[in-house]
Amino acid sequence: MLDETDEMLDETDEILDETDEILDDSWITQFEDLNARYDRFYSEDVNVVNTTLFFLNTFLNEIIHRDKDVVVLKTPGCVSQDELTKMMKKNQTRNGVIFKPMYILKYNINIAADEVKFLGRGEKDFFWTSVTDMNDIHYEKTIGCFQDLNDLVIIFQPESPRTCNKTKRLFFRSKHNKTLKKYISE
């Protein structure tokens, strides 16, 4: 019984060896090599975002300072509210002056792979969006070779000094504090 099983195993091994010789699977490796060249054109989640911080002098209409940094996102495709507030608190003071955010802009290049050849020629090239609230900022999937173009721009302006209310009160008084008697002439 064991001898028959061994003979059957030997026969199946011989058949498999013959089919391996007959089947040519080199086309699979060629396809994988060809496909590997185009991996950078597939959309991927955004894991890293460049941040650019501009500090303005609103009185002189000039840029005082510019900072660039790279932020690795905790959750792919999302700058959380906590990350955003930490970034803003960390960069709030510059040379003893307190700055507050004026604008937050997001640049997310979310173009499809088949539209890359039309990049720069069409109307859909506008990838800037303004962030109006301090919630999570979501980034759509981006083509791998454009990952380093995703940006978050925060524009700071100096916080205006708080002044006391110096409005002068006006008191309306008559010259006479008493009721005047009116005499009727006859």
Range in 34-48, 54-68, 168-182 the model is least confident about: 168-182
Q: How far is CA 6 from the centre of its chain?
A: 64
In the chain the domains, ranked by start, together with CATH numbers, are 41-158 (3.10.20)
pTM for this prediction? 0.65
Going by C-alpha positions, the residue among 138, 154, 139, 134 that lies closest to residue 108 is 139
Q: How many CB atoms lie within 10 A of CB 108?
A: 22
The band of 111, judged by pLDDT with boundaries at 50, 70 and 90, is confident
Tally the residues of the chain: 186
CA contacts within 13 A on the Cβ side of 25: 3
The predicted structure's pLDDT at residue 118: 67
The predicted structure's pLDDT at residue 183: 79
